[in-house]
Structure 1
């Protein structure tokens, strides 16, 4: 029932890495690591989502706007809107949707 793991800490910086931490009927949490100067290609989210940067500095591109999001910052975005992410430095972030 109770478990502690180090999935986020052990996730490598090798271009783009995506792992599902939690999946339930209500929400899911993804952990993403993005190597400096790498890109998470254009995609959409099936639900409204929240992005929390745990480490690093990313540029979030959506609706022809660019948002710089850094360590310990939070960003919300709507479902079904195309977006993509690029890393200014090695970065790790969570997607909660």
Structure 2
């Protein structure tokens, strides 16, 4: 009935890694890891989304602006706006949408 999921902790820093942790009709949670210097290429989100940095430091690029985020910081961004992410160091973050 209750389980502990270690996929976030076990997720490696090998370029870009994306794991879908939860997917329901109302919610999706993605765990993303980026090795230092790796890039999550340009894309859009189908819904408004929340990003929570669990570990490391990233730069979130959206609307020709750069937002530096680090451990325990949160960032909101709108649906259907092109964005991309680069890792300043080995990093893990969640996307909740």
Moved over 3 A (4+): none
- Equivalent pairs counted in the alignment come to 97
Structure 1 segment 33-44 matched on structure 2, within 5 A: 33-44=33-44
2:80 is paired with a residue of what secondary structure?
Answer: coil
1:94 aligns with 2:97: no
Unaligned runs of 5+ residues in structure 2 are none
Structure 1 segment 1-97 matched on structure 2, within 5 A: 1-97=1-97
CA distance in structure 2 between the partners assigned to 1:3 and 1:24 by the alignment: 18
Scaled by the length of structure 1, the TM-score of the pair is 0.99
Unaligned runs of 5+ residues in structure 1 are none
CA distance in structure 2 between the partners assigned to 1:60 and 1:90 by the alignment: 15
Give deviations 1:40-83, integer Å, cap 9, x for gaps: 00000000000000000000000000000000000000000000
CA distance in structure 2 between the partners assigned to 1:7 and 1:16 by the alignment: 15
1:9 is paired with a residue of what secondary structure?
Answer: helix
Scaled by the length of structure 2, the TM-score of the pair is 0.99
